[in-house]
Chain A
Amino acid sequence: MIEQNQIYGIAAVLLFCVGLHGVATRPEMVRKVIALNIMGAGVFLFLISVAWQGARAPADPVPQAMVLTGIVVAVSASAFALGLVRRLAGLAEESAAEHGESPAAPPKEDPK
């Protein structure tokens, strides 16, 4: 019989892998930041599924404290990443304007 925490453990693995796939394949930077956040959610969910000690017992407080710290660090790191994304977009726009191209085109990431 599968346990409650095992269900969330599997979900955690799948979240992590979906996020990793997104980081690897999505070309837009904002989407990559979101995908990194999904990977982080998977890691947090795994830690708490390990902390689970039965439906009647409170969960292990040490992983809970780690995840709590991790959530706040993740949002500040995401804010910094989004700052980088904005700066990158601004620079791309500037250089496109300099070269007389349309600034609307998104930057290409990989040469064929």
Chain B
Amino acid sequence: MIALIFDGVLAVTLVALAWRVLAAPDAFEAVVVFITLGLLMALAWGRLAAPDIALAEAAVGAGLTGVLLLDTLGALPHGSPPAQAAAHAEIRGRGWPARVATGLLATTLGAAVLSLEPRPSLLAGQVSAHLGQSGVSHPVTAVLLNFRGYDTWLELGVLLIAIIGVLALRGSTRLSGETLARPPAVLAWLIRVLTPLILMVAGYLLWLGKHAAGGAFQAGVVLGAAGVLLWLAGWHPVAREWLWKVLWVIGFLGFIAAGLGQLLAGANWLEYPPETAATFILCLELGAAISIGATLAGLFIALHFPPRENLSGGPNERRP
């Protein structure tokens, strides 16, 4: 009973925070409340027996997304207060039809959710029936890296597309020359102390995925956060331009190599023999974690530094 009350309070808080995020007049406040919402979402994942997602959400929802949003707010020109107030008055005037439509949608969807019959999942049964052949003992890792390896492979493809898109918008693919002029001394010291710990946590999460909540995604996100922190401290986690590109594609290419290798060996695409599946999965996870980390850090760096060349000024020249 107490647990249900806790769930109820958490659910109401989530929705109230989401409302506040969108209703707050100040964009900065909205982002801060959104970060809080991410932290509480992690709590909800814990309550729903999904610790893998709680770990990823704590790092992504509360960490990286917040950093990206705050950084963008800082870069955008601020609207003058009267202009903002005018925009708000305009929204208030046309708010009612939208509210009624949203309310109707919420009622319909809510009724549908409540009418869902609980039933045992067929897929969950299949996963536990074949878990012994997957090479790992944690079912979520087995699904991500073995049974549904396609999803993870193509997800790495989506990350590649995102970084290519951001670089295209930026108009320059050079990342390694960009750095902050002079980081504050306390920040630099703190990051110097924290970085080894963060790297250790990432490695531990990667290894842990074999038998408990953890794995490539959580490790990759933590690596991405470490990359962003190092950059803020004025250090270059990746010094060479070509190395960035290698790190971005290594996870995606790793899956292709594993798939082709198994095709040549006579098996199906991304099908691993049960005896060596654990090794396959660990290698693929390592590549995926590195690519996820490098891509997320690269996305932040590419967004943070506007292109120094004028876009209309012809092709970008590589500086020596």
Contact = CB atoms under 8 A, between A and B. Distances in A.
Contacts of A66: 151
B109 to A, nearest CB: 4
Contacts of B159: 72-73, 76
A62 B169 CA distance: 35
A17 B113 CA distance: 14
Interface in A62-87: 62, 64-69, 71-80, 82-87
A51 B166 contact: no
A104 B113 contact: no
Q: Interface SS of chain B: helix, strand, loop or mixed?
A: helix
B317 to A, nearest CB: 21
B4 to A, nearest CB: 6
Interface string B103-114: 101100110011
Contacts of A73: 155, 158-159
Contacts of A87: 169
A76 to B, nearest CB: 4
B83 A106 contact: yes
Query: In which size bucket is the chain B interface?
Result: 35 or more
Contact of A25 (B21, B37, B98): B98
Contacts of B53: 44, 48, 64, 67-68, 71
A34 B8 contact: no
Contact of A86 (B48, B102, B292, B303): B303
A32 B303 CA distance: 18
Contact of A3 (B77, B118, B123, B292): B118
A15 B102 CA distance: 11
B135 interface: no
B270 interface: no
Contacts of A71: 53, 56-57, 60-61, 217
Interface in B16-63: 18-19, 21-22, 27, 30-31, 34, 37, 41, 44-45, 47-50, 52-53, 56-57, 60-61
B206 to A, nearest CB: 14
B260 interface: no
Interface stretch (B195-203, B229-237, B293-301): B293-301
A77 B162 contact: yes
B57 A83 contact: no
Contact of B47 (A4, A20, A65, A74): A4
Interface of A: 2-22, 24-28, 30-31, 33-35, 37-38, 41, 44-46, 48-53, 55, 57-62, 64-69, 71-80, 82-87, 89-90, 93, 103-106
Given A62-B121, A86-B306, 6 more contacts: A4-B47, A21-B22, A22-B22, A25-B91, A69-B151, A75-B68
9 A-B pairs with the lowest CB-CB distances in the bound complex, closest first: A76-B162, A11-B11, A22-B22, A61-B139, A106-B79, A65-B143, A79-B299, A9-B113, A17-B106
